[in-house]
Chain A
Amino acid sequence: MDMVAGKVKMTQQSVKSAMNPTDMLERPIRLTARDVTVHYGAKQALHGISIDIPDRAVTSFIGPSGCGKSTFLRCINRMNDTIEGAKVGGTIKLDGEDIYDPSLDVVELRARIGMVFQKPNPFPKSIYENVAYGPRIHGLARNKTDMDEIVVSSLRKAGLFEEVKDRLNEPGTGLSGGQQQRLCIARAIAVGPEVILMDEPCSALDPIATAIIEELIDELRENYTIVIVTHSMQQAARVSQKTAFFHLGNLIEEGVTEDIFTNPVNKQTQDYIMGRIG
């Protein structure tokens, strides 16, 4: 426990030392959203969201339940397509390319923008098959050796390999909650995405598993653009470099994480961070 707590502390320090606010603002922009709206049937869930997501940094969306942060996250890889009656407006561009362009292949898009869900959702297959599934459907491996390499390196990047290397053929559903979530992260990484979306990835996990995932997120930042939705302000402060605050379907305030938490401009942001709304 002590060791883990120490790790978390270290992570916090390393985040702060690794990137200062000015650094952050100079990062190239990977994703741009302009005036994004979402309707579920007659109900409007998002009112004109515009935000830039920087490359190879962690951007967090915070806000009270039902504020639209997860809805917006699901717009970024078009997961809202799978919900009946959902209608998305506005534009979202990945490297300048409109992801809602009718000529764009959504399957390809989702291979570039991976997703990790709130509840760990490994498939009812073996650990190996869970990770191998994505590469297999996208034809990323030419042979078994290739596939083994992808699986092992993905598990390693997700910090899970050492724990499961002797039981790759056992079902993924048999792992602990934290291990399952890291398996899901490995599964997302295996497809070779550029962006990873995480929808409250720690909300179903205990504090120790949460600390491990947070540390992992910090490591992944080196190679991936990460967007994380969280209901924990402490988590946003710990892992992210940029923070956006959502309230009632509106983007209230966005900026460098440190600024948002120490010096929020908007009254509502202030209230939320002080625990007065939520």
Chain B
Amino acid sequence: MNALIVAGLLLVLLGVAYQSGWSRSRGLVTADGVKIHSRPQYHGSFVAIWAMVPTLVILGLWAWFGGGITRDYTVSLIPTDIMMSLDQVGLNAAIARIGALASGYGVTGESPAWEQAAGDALRSFQMLTFVGVLVLALVAGGAALVYARSRINARLRARNAVERVVNLALLACSAVAILTTVGIVASLVSEAFRFFTFIHPFDFFFGTVWNPNNAGSAGNWGSYGLLPLLSGTLMITAIAMLVAVPVGLMAAIYLSQYAPAQLRAVAKPMIEILAGIPTIVFGFFALVTVGPFLRDLGNLVGLSINATSALTAGIVMGIMIIPFVSSLSDDILNQVPRTLRDGAYGLGATQSETIRNVLLPAALPGIVGAFLLAVSRAIGETMIVVLAAGNAPVLRGNPFEPVATITVSIVNQLTGDTDFTGPQSLVGFALGLTLFVITLGLNIVALYIVRRFREQYE
């Protein structure tokens, strides 16, 4: 309710400010007949920005500090004798109860008279501060509006000022993405370092046993060797690529070179729908259909294949990334200039010779880039592996046996009760960092290759 009122008032202020700037600017034109520097819209926006900035600053300051002030006031409402009897937890509970009484929501049970009184006092305090802050903000905004409006004249460079503000807004938006990345990496790194105070990095990166003791305490943490997880991840990724690369590439070649237009119009969206299936759906497809099928197939030829195994997860993951490989490769094949194809045809090359000898070599760097992007996707994939790989963090080379991956182990360590004080949960950050470094490296290599390929034809 309060938020709606604030938003409504802000919109009204915005509209009034814009309109007043705009009309004053229009007035300039008719009165003097002089050429004004900026068009009326810019004057309107100029005044609107001026009016909004102090308003938003005051509201923002209240949002930031208001909580603390209200809390201090609430504490002061608690009678001294009761205050003496409360510990930290009890104090927080009391503050929460008073807050609930003030808002009228979430009150349970009978409350003593002092609580009731404190609740009423808090309610009027909140009302007062809310109205006070709002009035203050609007007055400041109004004052800024009047000031900005008084500055409008024919020479005022309102357009430049407005464009500078827009520029800053755009910069702020891109900063959000960048700062988020930096923040995530920073927290990964710092938490990973905390993990390494428990477990030596050498034991983590080169350890061959993964056996965290989830109930353990100092001296009995268990072993956190990365290698079993890394080998599982790489095995599943390799199997996935063995499935996705040939199928995806052949599909791309067929669709971009051989398929008649009508078929392409149907088949391309169909393949891309495959990319839209949630990975969890692929996961139970693996668990329910592919796993048992592979096990039975194994029985038939005398191989012992587990229903949940690296093979199952890898094959299904490969199917999942087929559209990824095929649509990227398709784009890259279509980017190869038509003149190159014509050149080969003009020499009497057949279609398959043209594709093998001219098209694919020309597109190869781009296709390699696409594969690396697909690999980094496969390495980071979680849901399919959780369901279909069997979660057996053991170092072994047999793809017919269950394995565990880095992503699955992160899920295992961070679900349930976690307090981030021991290596049991902190290892999640070290694993996440490892994963991040691997995929980042692959992405950088892939982007570098793709860019080099682009330069060749521009």
Residues of A in contact with B (beta carbons under 8 Å apart):
77, 79, 82, 84, 107-111, 114-119, 121-125, 133-134, 137-138, 173, 184, 187-188, 191
Among candidates B260, B344, B346, residue contacting A114 with C-beta atoms closer than 8 Å:
B346
> Once the chains bind, are A79 and B456 in contact (CB under 8 Å)?
no
* Contact partner, A110, options B341, B348, B358, Cβ 8 Å: B348
Q: Can you list 15 A-B contacts (CB < 8 A)?
A: A77-B346, A82-B341, A82-B342, A84-B261, A116-B346, A118-B339, A123-B344, A123-B361, A124-B361, A133-B344, A133-B357, A137-B348, A173-B456, A187-B343, A191-B347
Contact present for B357 and A121 (CB under 8 Å): no
Nearest CB in chain B: distance from A200 CB, A: 12
Alpha-carbon separation in the docked complex, A191 to B353 (Å): 15
The 6 closest A-B pairs by CB, nearest first: A115-B346, A110-B348, A121-B339, A111-B348, A134-B347, A121-B343
Q: Which residues does chain A contribute within 8 Å of B261, judged by CB atoms? A: 84
A107-B350, A124-B362, A133-B357 known; A82 vs B343 contact (CB < 8 Å) = no
B345 within 8 A of A: yes
**Which chain B residue shows the least CB distance to A130?**
B343
User: How far, in Å, is A138 (CB) from chain B's closest CB?
Assistant: 6
Question: Which residues from chain B contact A117 at a C-beta distance below 8 Å?
Answer: 339, 342-343, 346
Query: What's the least CB distance linking A254 to chain B, in Å?
Result: 25
B216 in the interface, Cβ–Cβ < 8 Å? no
Q: What residues of B have a CB within 8 angstroms of the CB of A134 in the complex?
A: 347-349
B456 touches A124 (CB 8 A): yes
B337 contacts partner chain A, Cβ-Cβ < 8 Å:
yes
- Judge if B340 is at the interface, Cβ distance under 8 Å: yes
Q: Name the distance in Å between A72's Cβ and chain B's nearest Cβ.
A: 16
Measured in the bound complex, the distance between the Cα atoms of B362 and A77 in whole Å is 25
- Chain A nearest CB from B41 CB (Å) reads 43
SS of B interface (majority): helix
Which residues of the partner chain B approach A123 to less than 8 Å between Cβ atoms? 340, 343-344, 357-358, 361-362
> In the assembled complex, how far is the CB of residue B432 from the closest CB belonging to chain A, in whole angstroms?
40
CA distance in complex: A107, B344 (Å): 11
Q: Given A121-B337, A124-B456: A188 and B346 within 8 A (CB)?
A: yes
Q: Which residues of B contact A77 (CB under 8 A)?
A: 346
Asked whether, in the complex, the Cβ of B342 is within 8 Å of the Cβ of A107, the reply is: no
Q: Tell me the complex Cα distance, A118–B338, Å.
A: 12
Chain B residues within 8 Å of A184, by CB: 343
Q: Is the CB of A79 within 8 A of B346?
A: yes
If A124-B361, A137-B357 touch, whether A191 touches B342 (CB-CB below 8 Å) is: no
Residues of chain B from 308 to 349 with CB closer than 8 A to chain A in the complex: 337, 339-349
Nearest CB to that of B345 among chain A residues?
Answer: A82
Q: In the bound complex, do residue B347 and residue A133 qualify as a contact, i.e. CB atoms below 8 Å apart?
A: yes
Q: Is the CB of A121 within 8 A of B342?
A: yes
Question: Quick one: closest A residue to B365, CB to CB?
Answer: A124
**A residues in contact with B361, CB < 8 Å:** 123-125
Docked Cα-Cα span, A119 to B361, in Å, equals 20
Within 8 A of A (CB), among B351-387: 353, 357-358, 361-362
Contacts of B348 in A (CB 8 A): 107-111, 134, 137-138, 191
Known: A82-B345, A117-B343; 18 extra A-B contacts, CB below 8 A, are A77-B346, A82-B341, A107-B348, A111-B348, A115-B342, A116-B346, A122-B343, A123-B343, A124-B340, A124-B362, A125-B361, A133-B347, A134-B347, A137-B349, A137-B353, A137-B357, A188-B346, A191-B348
Q: Is the CB of A107 within 8 A of B346?
A: no
In the complex, chain B residues whose CB is within 8 Å of the CB of A114: 346-347
Q: Is the CB of B343 within 8 A of A107?
A: no
* A146–chain B nearest beta-carbon distance, Å: 18
Taking a contact as CB atoms under 8 Å apart, the answer to whether A107 and B456 are in contact is no
Residue of A79, A109, A123, A188 most packed against chain B (CB within 10 A) = A123
CB-nearest residue of chain B to A129? B357
Partner of B347 from A119, A124, A137 at Cβ < 8 Å: A137
Distance, CA A134 to CA B349, complexed state (A): 7
Q: B378-413 interface mask toward A, CB cutoff 8 Å, 1 = contact, 0 = none?
A: 000000000000000000000000000000000000
Q: Which residue of chain A has the shortest Cβ distance to B342 in the bound complex?
A: A117
**B366 to A: closest C-beta gap in Å:** 12
Q: B260 — which chain A residues lie within 8 A by C-beta?
A: 84
Is the Cβ of B347 less than 8 Å from the Cβ of A110? Answer: yes
Neighbouring A residues of B345 by C-beta, 8 Å: 79, 82, 110
Q: How far is the CB of B396 from chain A (nearest CB, A)?
A: 44
Given A123-B358, A133-B357, A173-B456, A111 and B342 touching (CB < 8 A)?
Answer: no
Complex alpha-carbon distance, A173 and B339, angstroms = 13
Quote the shortest CB–CB distance from B329 to chain A (angstroms): 17
Query: Hey, which chain A residues are within 8 Å of B357, CB to CB?
Result: 123, 133, 137
Give Cα A276–Cα B342 distance, bound, in whole angstroms: 34
How many angstroms from the CA of A9 to the CA of B358 in the assembled complex? 39
B333 to chain A, nearest CB (A): 14
